[in-house]
Structure 1
Amino acid sequence: MKTCPRLSEFLQAVSSTYEHYEKDRQLLERSMNLSSKELYCTNEKLREDHQKQKVVLDKLKEAISELNIEENPHLTTGVDENDLVAMVDLLQEKIHMTKEFEEELRVSGLKFQAIVENTADIIWSVDEHLRLSIFNSFYRKNTIAKHNIDPVLGDKLSNIIPPKEYKELEDLLKRAINGERFIIEEVHNKNSQPLYFETSFNPIRDEHKITGISVFSRDITFRKEDEKRKNELLRDLQSANEELEQIAYITSHDLKTPLRSIGSIASWIKSDYQHLFDDLSKEQIDILISRVDRLYNLIDGISLYMSLSSVDEEEREIVDFGQIISKVINTLNVPAHISVEIVKSLPKAAGIKTHIYLVFEQVIKNAILFMDKKQGRISIDFRQKENDLEFIVADNGPGIDQKYHQKIFKIFQALNARDQMETNGIGLAIAKKIVKMTGGDINIESTPGEGSTFIFNFNY
């Protein structure tokens, strides 16, 4: 059977189009991933293929128009004009689909470009041969400013960057080509002022193969300056704290000595000459002694509060909580009308003895000091909370209104007038400071008239 040259060309074109269509579709789908290399290369490939398909379509139309079944009866066997038209329609549909994919790719490319351009970072990428495949306007401006070269897609980095600088960059890019993802910090000088940049190198993968590297460089000068200022402030604060601790220590030592003398002299006068005093004089000397004791205790409390520092890991040891709390109870000389109960055997755990002792001392002392019941009760218990121990100290005292639950933990805050209750307003502040230093927390649950419950934990 003879074959018309136009028909042969037509059939070959159809076959070629079908063979390449699936590859084109896959290429389009892959390019939607916005891989830097694929985005550039696919656009070029699609333009070429689209032009080829248009040429094929024109040839097909021309071939059909020239086919004349009546004039060429030897072509009637196996060739149907309707079939050929259907083939052309199918090919047109597939070309239309390809154009739709191309439009989706174009829109995705615009979105990608918008993201790249609307960022303050310098963004660029290269293929495996270290040729530019993507860059934004910040990269372009930086390259022009540094190297006086206007970069173009496809340029080799070695043609843009001076040899010495390129060698250093090449070493970094090779690390990324080998699959390493990393970040470096760089310092550049501009008008004698240091500029700090944080640059990340990220391998671009196509399935299991690395096809390029994307690079993101961000100006972190402002952050570095902030860190520098913060460190300077921390040093100043540390220096101020050290000076304050020294002042507190010296003040405590210098004030307590004369106070002790005043208190002793007042007590001697009261003891030796009280027969000469009237009732008003006796009341006044008692007030004097009371004020001296209050001031002495206040200075002690301030000194203790100021001396509390961060947790020293070397002081940590296995602590017997039951033993420590028993010692606290014996030291406090609990009044006879108040009972202190340890609900169940307390555990042993890691901690710092002095910290634990002080917290329980201040919380139990607070419960004793404010007890208003004829039969006062204080209970001490604990419960296991995940990897931590939570302690509960409850009493049946006067309770505290919820609006004061935070105030009581602040230094020098007392709910009663100083003349009504001998308290320095520091005890619970000391307890909270210690608990917070360990990473723990302390809270109160209380209802006026029904007592208070302090709940706290140490997080050593």
Structure 2
Amino acid sequence: MQTLELTETNYHRLLKRQIRKSLPPDLAEHPDMQDFLMAVNQAYTEYQDDLTRMELILEQSSGELFKANRELSRIAQEKTEEAALTSKRLEEVVGSISEVLVQLDREGNFTYLNQAWESITGYPVAASLGQRFAGFLPPLESREKLVEILNNETQAKEETLRIFTADGQEKWLGASLSPYYANGTHIGFTGTLSDVTARVTAETKLKSYTRDLERINAELDQFAYVVSHDLKAPLRAINNLSEWIEEDIADMLEGETKDQFRLLRGRVHRMENLINGILSYSRAGRIKTVKEKFQIRSLVDELCESFSTKKPLSFRIEGEPNTEIEAEKIALTQILQNLISNGIKYNDKAEITITIGWKDLGNQFEFYVGDNGPGISPEFHERIFVIFQTLQARDEVESTGVGLAIVKKILDEKHSKIRIETVMGEGTTFLFTWPKNEAKDIQ
């Protein structure tokens, strides 16, 4: 009966096979055999279930890994293509740069050059790599400059080197090289070489033109001096002759004739002043004087003491008394002197008041010279700076018409501006700018 139950029980297929093969009849009839076989059957069943689940998990994981691997392969392919494209673009950019990108080892041999080297010099890049840079610089002075660069292992250095191209043309290279290090060891130099032939040629021409201009200016100064001297000589003779004639016939001269002799000498003095004015105008702004540092107030005080007039004259000074300026003192003095003189000469008031001041505008100063005279009508604000132009007849006010023209010319040389503020019947103020430091601002 027990054997029948054992046989009919639905055991795991592996357990059934083992029972048929190896279980003896006497063991099959043992009372505890049923429980044992059921426990073994349960173990087989659970194992099979676990194995099935593991197979399912492995199948799912394998599918996910396959998808992930396929995605990684796609990303890797994209990144490879992007890297290749970036590398190609970088090569194109480097190839299109007009400057030579260069690397040298410590001995000055080329270790890297871009295509610009061949474009500028005509020497092939492949043939130049490994060659000494100095070998391409036949002129001795250029080799010496390169040696100075190679001997400097601490800081960047710039030089202009002369080179002869593959077809024998002379060119100039602007070399900017810096030492570079690897693990604290100096291994070479890196930088750029640019074609500065046009710039060097222009600078050479400019220097030549400057020398010619200086020579011409010197000749003009000499000419102006000689001409003014030669023109003044006959004027002095006319003045002396008129005085002698007047002395010789003093008892015969009457009122109108005396006035004419006086008028003659006045015209002579005006002509002499005009010649002096022309000479001053020709030199204005062109003759460079030494730049010096000084207090503006001290300059103004000296100027005020140098003026005198028949009318009561007073000065009003406005500005920070300790303000200093670095400038051509003579040029600034000449401007202020002419403006002050102008304010005195054309003043129609019984008491003359001249205001002189200055303001700090940051990168420049603003000066102003004001008077309490008749004022200048706006339509004449430009005209008064033209040489020989005066607003009153010279018989009324003795003037050459050169002073304000000199002021304008000097300020133009300094790249400065002058403007006029006026109230008719109350006065005029001239305002002009002046660079704080001419050494930096004037080109």
Which band: TM-score by shorter chain?
0.5 to 0.7
Equivalent in 101, 115, 133 of residue 93 of structure 2: 115
- Secondary structure in structure 2 of the residue aligned to 1:94: helix
After superposition, the Cα gap between the structure-2 partners of 1:218 and 1:383, relative to the gap in structure 1 and judged at 3 Å, is closer
Deviations 1:5-64 (A, max 9, x none): xxxxxxxxxxxxxxxxxxxxxxxxxxxxxxxxxxxxxxxxxxxxxxxxxxxxxxxxxxxx
C-alpha distance in 1 between matches for 2:73 and 2:110: 32
After superposition, the Cα gap between the structure-2 partners of 1:253 and 1:133, relative to the gap in structure 1 and judged at 3 Å, is closer
1:342 aligned onto 2:342: no
C-alpha distance in 1 between matches for 2:120 and 2:316: 72
Which residue of structure 1 lines up, in the alignment, with residue 355 of structure 2?
379
After superposition, the Cα gap between the structure-2 partners of 1:172 and 1:231, relative to the gap in structure 1 and judged at 3 Å, is closer
Which residue of structure 2 lines up, in the alignment, with residue 135 of structure 1?
114
C-alpha distance in 2 between matches for 1:163 and 1:459: 46
C-alpha distance in 2 between matches for 1:174 and 1:95: 49
Q: Which amino acid aligns with 2:289?
A: V
1:186 aligned onto 2:142: no
Which residue of structure 1 lines up, in the alignment, with residue 209 of structure 2?
233
After superposition, the Cα gap between the structure-2 partners of 1:193 and 1:79, relative to the gap in structure 1 and judged at 3 Å, is same
C-alpha distance in 2 between matches for 1:199 and 1:311: 36
- Secondary structure in structure 2 of the residue aligned to 1:227: helix
Matches within 5 A, 1:23-422: 76=54, 80-125=58-103, 135-136=114-115, 138-140=116-118, 145-146=122-123, 151=126, 157-158=129-130, 161=131, 165=135, 180-189=155-164, 193-202=169-178, 214-267=190-243, 269=245, 272=249, 276=253, 279=256, 285=261, 287-306=263-282, 309-313=287-291, 320-321=298-299, 323-330=301-308, 333=309, 335-336=310-311, 339-343=313-317, 347=321, 355=331, 357-373=333-349, 376-383=352-359, 390-402=366-378, 404-405=380-381, 407-416=383-392, 418=394, 421-422=397-398
After superposition, the Cα gap between the structure-2 partners of 1:400 and 1:110, relative to the gap in structure 1 and judged at 3 Å, is farther
Deviations 1:218-242 (A, max 9, x none): 2222221111111111001101111
Which residue of structure 2 lines up, in the alignment, with residue 48 of structure 1?
none
Question: Is the Cα contact below 8 Å between 1:440 and 1:459 reproduced in 2?
Answer: no
Q: Which amino acid aligns with 2:161?
A: E
Deviations 1:297-322 (A, max 9, x none): 11222333455621225x76668335
Which residue of structure 1 lines up, in the alignment, with residue 39 of structure 2?
none
Equivalent in 395, 400, 421 of residue 446 of structure 1: 421
After superposition, the Cα gap between the structure-2 partners of 1:302 and 1:372, relative to the gap in structure 1 and judged at 3 Å, is same
After superposition, the Cα gap between the structure-2 partners of 1:201 and 1:268, relative to the gap in structure 1 and judged at 3 Å, is same
Which residue of structure 2 lines up, in the alignment, with residue 38 of structure 1?
none
C-alpha distance in 2 between matches for 1:163 and 1:423: 69
C-alpha distance in 1 between matches for 2:379 and 2:83: 62
Which residue of structure 2 lines up, in the alignment, with residue 455 of structure 1?
431
C-alpha distance in 1 between matches for 2:314 and 2:371: 9
Question: Is the Cα contact below 8 Å between 1:179 and 1:210 reproduced in 2?
Answer: no
C-alpha distance in 2 between matches for 1:252 and 1:356: 25
The Cα shift of 1:373 comes to 4.4
Number of positions where the alignment pairs a residue of Structure 1 with one of Structure 2: 372
The Cα shift of 1:328 comes to 2.0
The Cα shift of 1:187 comes to 1.4
Q: Which amino acid aligns with 1:328?
A: S
After superposition, the Cα gap between the structure-2 partners of 1:421 and 1:164, relative to the gap in structure 1 and judged at 3 Å, is closer
Q: Which amino acid aligns with 1:341?
A: F
After superposition, the Cα gap between the structure-2 partners of 1:380 and 1:172, relative to the gap in structure 1 and judged at 3 Å, is closer
Question: Is the Cα contact below 8 Å between 2:159 and 2:176 reproduced in 1?
Answer: yes
- Secondary structure in structure 2 of the residue aligned to 1:397: coil
The Cα shift of 1:258 comes to 2.2
C-alpha distance in 2 between matches for 1:448 and 1:427: 22
After superposition, the Cα gap between the structure-2 partners of 1:205 and 1:451, relative to the gap in structure 1 and judged at 3 Å, is farther
- Secondary structure in structure 1 of the residue aligned to 2:60: helix
The Cα shift of 1:377 comes to 3.2
Q: CA RMSD in A?
A: 4.7
| Unaligned stretches of 5+ residues in structure 1 | 1-69
- The TM-score, its normalising length taken from structure 1, stands at 0.63
Q: Which amino acid aligns with 2:98?
A: A
Deviations 1:249-293 (A, max 9, x none): 2222222232123124335556755965685x6665555333212
| Unaligned stretches of 5+ residues in structure 2 | 1-47, 138-142, 438-443
After superposition, the Cα gap between the structure-2 partners of 1:286 and 1:218, relative to the gap in structure 1 and judged at 3 Å, is same
Q: Which amino acid aligns with 1:299?
A: I
The Cα shift of 1:207 comes to 11
Identity within the alignment, %: 26
After superposition, the Cα gap between the structure-2 partners of 1:133 and 1:353, relative to the gap in structure 1 and judged at 3 Å, is closer
